[in-house]
Homo-oligomer: A and B are copies of this chain.
Amino acid sequence: MPTAAGAVRPYDELRRQLREAATLGSVGHLLNWDQETYMPHAAAEHRAAQQEAIAKLVHERMTSKRIGELIAACETDPGVVADPAGIEAANLREIRRDYDRATKLPSDLVAELARTGSLAQEAWKAAREKSDFAQFEPWLDKMMALSRRKAQCLSAGAEFTEPYDALLDEYEPGATARELEAIFNPLAARLSGLIRELSRAPGKPDDAFLHVQFAPSKQHEMGEFVLKAMGFDFASGRLDVTTHPFCSGMAPGDTRLTTRYRDEKFTDALYGSMHEGGHGLYEQGLPKVGASARFGEPLADSISLGIHESQSRMWENLVGRSREFWSWLLPHAKKFAGGPLDRFSVDDAFRATNIVSPSLIRVEADEATYNLHILLRFEIERRLISGDLKVRDVPGEWNSRFKQLLGIDVPDDRRGCLQDVHWAFGLIAYFPTYTLGNLYAAQFWETIRQQIPDLPAQMSRGEFGALKAWLNKNIHQHGRRFKAGNLCRQLTGKPLSADPLMRHLETKFRSVYGL
């Protein structure tokens, strides 16, 4: 439909307004990143006020009456909706979804969530350091109360079976706690079986490779070397050091990764960097910059956290913990380490980085036990939201369920329920997307292996270009055009299932453990 000369199409005006709001939103991402990396401690209180101010402004813009009118105008514009399967219709569908969700949240709640998240994060840091849950408890209590209120607001006029689903829908659109439960519980049972099987295996791998001394500055150089090989663009990004590794796709041309180094167990930082690098490649692959840039629109945004996590897990586990990867990296790693790795073979590296052993810290867990850490968090946060579990009972519940699932005693809260920052930030219903990521990664990987038959040979030469191109083409460039479940069916021909992940884990670990 032609528009009057000089008149701006509602769709173009809508895009412009979303870009403006997202520009302010990207300022909030910088505030977050800075708080996690370089901000002096004494600035914490003012940082909360800054976060609150920006969050409020973004929310006001995203929920303005004008945006509502523009969306309504577009919904009757054949130029946008004529082809319901088309790109613009998909964009509009997702814009509507965001608007409807955002307008359900009162502005003061959004501001309070931002402010509390910023302050609770500092309280969490202090409490974690001293392993003192009591210090963090009032903040977690407040954050849970706010999250329950948020779930209640989002449930208005929607058909969520339980309040938790309203929160989950933010991170994994359309997913429900019951569905997750239906996949996670059998997965946990199969994993427990595998873990038991491996614990009785004759050929336990040696972990000496992991315990060499490796200077943090050299680890950092190696991390950048690997990220460059993966195709991460350092002109549009960086790698810093922080307590809790993360990736912030904060703005067009600006994707920032963080990791953490210790003198020993250098593979933690390596896999941390590769993991965040996988997220970073997704962010850099979204159409945020260039001629056809759509920054601020759903088509330049990631589908869901589960799909996001599938990217990080793929690089961390399916690439980084493969024999082929080590046959490429080991000679380089020996140079970076400057001596202490010289006595190890590719087989040593491959086996040592595939040891299955129940342990305390989620981000350092192996591929098999990892998902049990997630199940624990999913159960606890679901019960906190339903009101079935009190915040003060979290440590006790954590420790007893941890013992059931992983068979070990939690010595202190620092290595127990205080280890992750998510709840302090208000990220409730976020954890399950980590296991969804593992499931999606394994299922995509089977398809990729079919479509790039030469991939193992390429990986053993440090060539990741074809893999990155496949991900760019099939996943990244589409933004939120397809829903996660549909994308999975399109790419793999099947709905999401635990089978590919279990096939991958059983095959690899039985081989490593000589079963």
Contact = CB atoms under 8 A, between A and B. Distances in A.
A236 B40 contact: yes
Interface stretch (A30-38, A380-388, A434-442, A465-473): A30-38
Interface stretch (A41-49, A192-200, A340-348, A359-367): A41-49
A121 interface: no
Interface in A215-259: 233-238, 240, 251-256
A253 B53 contact: no
Contact of A54 (B27, B49, B289): B27
Contacts of A49: 23
B238 A41 contact: no
A281 to B, nearest CB: 15
Nearest to A24: B53
A31 B39 CA distance: 13
Nearest to A41: B235
A50 B31 contact: no
A26 to B, nearest CB: 6
A57 interface: yes
A20 interface: yes
Contacts of A30: 30-31, 34, 50
Contacts of A235: 40-42
Contacts of A43: 236, 251-254
A248 to B, nearest CB: 12
Chain A: interface size category: 35 or more
Interface in A36-94: 38-47, 49-50, 53-54, 57
Contact of A20 (B53, B233, B256): B53
Given A30-B31, A45-B253, A253-B46, A40 B289 contact: no
Contacts of A295: 46
A30 B24 CA distance: 13
Nearest to A27: B50
B251 A50 contact: yes
Nearest to A44: B253
Question: Which residue of A27, A31, A53, A295 has the most chain B CB atoms within 10 A of its CB atom?
Answer: A27
Number of copies: 2
A486 B36 CA distance: 43
A27 B26 CA distance: 12
Contacts of A38: 38, 238, 240
A295 B49 CA distance: 12
Interface string A303-338: 000000000000000000000000000000000000
Contacts of A42: 233, 235-236, 253-254, 289
Contacts of A45: 252-253
Interface in A246-275: 251-256
A293 to B, nearest CB: 10
A465 B440 CA distance: 61
Contacts of A255: 40
Contact of A46 (B41, B251, B256): B251
A20 B251 CA distance: 25
A39 B252 contact: no
B252 A40 contact: no
Contacts of A237: 40
Contact of A53 (B27, B53, B256): B27
A26 B31 CA distance: 11
Contacts of A23: 46, 49-50, 53
Nearest to A233: B42
Contacts of A234: 40
Contacts of A39: 254
B40 A254 contact: yes
A238 B35 CA distance: 13
A416 to B, nearest CB: 29
Interface of A: 20, 23-24, 26-27, 30-31, 34, 38-47, 49-50, 53-54, 57, 233-238, 240, 251-256, 289, 295
Given A23-B49, A27-B50, 13 more contacts: A23-B46, A27-B53, A30-B50, A40-B236, A40-B255, A41-B236, A42-B233, A42-B236, A43-B236, A43-B252, A45-B252, A46-B253, A46-B295
13 contacts: A24-B50, A24-B53, A26-B46, A34-B34, A38-B38, A38-B238, A40-B235, A40-B237, A40-B238, A40-B254, A42-B233, A42-B253, A43-B251
Closest 3 CB pairs of A and B: A42-B253, A43-B254, A42-B236
